[in-house]
Amino acid sequence: MRTRYLNALLWRGGDTRPTLCDFDVVDGRVTSTEGLADLNVDLAGAFTMPAFRDGHCHPLFAGREHVGPDVTEAKSLAEIQSLISSYASLNPEVIWIDAAAYDPSIAANFHRSELDSAVLDQPVVLHSSDHHTLWVNTKALELSGLLHKIPALSAGSIDIDEQGIPTGIIREWEAMQFVMSKLPALTIEQELDCLDWAQAELLRYGIAEVQDAWIDPGMAEIYLESARRGRLKVRINLAFRADPASWLEDFDYFDMMRAEVTAQNNSNLHVYAIKFFVDGVLGSSTASLLEPYVAGPKVHTHGEQVWPKVALLAAAAEATARGYQLHLHAIGDAAVRTALDVIETVSPKIAAVIAHAELISDVDLPRFAELNITANLQPLWAREDGQLMSCVPQVDRVRIDKLYRMRDLLSSAARLAFGSDWPVSSPNALTGVATAVNRCLPGGSSWTIGQAVTVKEALNAYTNGVAAQLSNSERPGTLFPGDRAEFITLSQNPFEVLPARLFEIQITQIYL
């Protein structure tokens, strides 16, 4: 069937400019107009562009969080307490209350007693907006075995008061898993419903393809079952998380899951990468810095790295030998340097990815281009919101103002792709584009505007930039003849509106 789209203000991607034209779609691919069409669709001059892609997000985690209470918009401790208390009253059958995601900049002590005031006799778990920190009540600590005994940790921490009693703040996954492992497991039907909801959200924002950047044992099976039942609507690329304590044994499981995905031969499910956490996050003072923290729980220290470097090198080399792409989480400048060193030493055949790269030293910035690394940045973090401002006291303003060097990376010829890290931040790519261009909240003042990118650069980073990150020649994130016809239309032409008005643009039609 030949469908002809008429009067499209078409931006095909790359360095092209939007042009008013017609184009045909035959068997799901863009072609030139020739002959008679079976169906004509008049786009009435609407701005038409490739569908968005998200190079770093967590759809299944987002779907799971949707099951519990949402405290994302809560602006005060009292509001959080009210939301949690109301949820407990309305859902007495829920054993563990698992809520997300609180703003660490609100006025609160973040002590277990503050959650006890809302719910005392049920365990309560709140995820911070950075998703590297838990805030739990006393019951959760008790049921997790943490109230009276603190386990030895190689990374992360369980905060304690002057008497050595846990406060209720737990940082990084090694520590967090003592709590998270106690939550009742969802049934496969519940997991599939979570994934359905997450996919509907992605499709609502015009997102055709994503990198799920954290797959633990048991999660790939959910994606496989979704694909078997014909419920996988978004192209998902899985990245298995390598654990410092069990990576060698886990790699055999990764290979087995990759083989199952390959055997299923579903065009919407693929395995490319292995994810490595090099460090934590600035908000929890667990990001690894070249210069020490100036305040907070890690004052006078440099944060922490999740892996001993020798082990990280060995695991990265093994991943490369098995044909996986390296996808490294690195936030602090010391962690970014470690990630670069590992990639340089291992010399992978598939171009590696460093996700987040929030703080990059001047001497390390050119290495991204030299090593053909994709920097996957989160544009919604490049604004003075509560999450950013909560990091200022422990990091200092000078270093905060050096975060998210999008312009410098592009100027150095580095490969740039965008992701949301959803549910850490919204998967709304249009808001991400507006933020990358303006470096501000809607209606706010620009922050470090010298690191802003152009509209074209932002759109490319959300389309063909992610496709290049995923080495996806089958779906390159463009709309040239022969490309997959995955496109959206917008309410305005983003190349012509004032930068501040970019926040007003909406998706009007989605064609996937």
Q: Which residue has the tokens 């790519």?
A: 429
Under CATH, what is the fold of the domain 67-180? Answer: Diaminopimelate Epimerase; Chain A, domain 1 (3.10.310)
What residue ranges of the chain have pLDDT lower than 50? none
pLDDT the model gives residue 139? 98
N- to C-terminal Cα distance for the chain? 16
pLDDT value, residue 474: 73
pLDDT confidence of residue 446: 98
Q: Where in the chain is the domain with CATH 2.30.40.10?
A: 1-51+477-512
Q: How many residues does the chain have?
A: 512
Strand partners, 206: none
Give the model's pLDDT for residue 472.
66
What does the pLDDT read at residue 80? Answer: 98
Portions of the chain given CATH number 3.10.310.70: 67-180
The full 3-state SS of 300-315, as one line of letters, equals CCCCCECCCHHHHHHH
Which string of b and e fits 166-180 if b means at least 16 CB within 10 Å? bbbbbbbbbbbebbb
Q: Cα angle vertex 296, ends 293, 301, to 5°?
A: 35
Three-class SS of 162-206: CCCCEEEEEECHHHHHHHHCCCCCCCHHHHHHHHHHHHHHHHHCC
Q: For the whole model, what pTM was predicted?
A: 0.96
Give tens-digit pLDDT for 500-510: 999 999 999 99
Superfamily per CATH, domain 1-51+477-512: Urease, subunit C, domain 1 (2.30.40.10)
| pLDDT the model gives residue 84 | 98
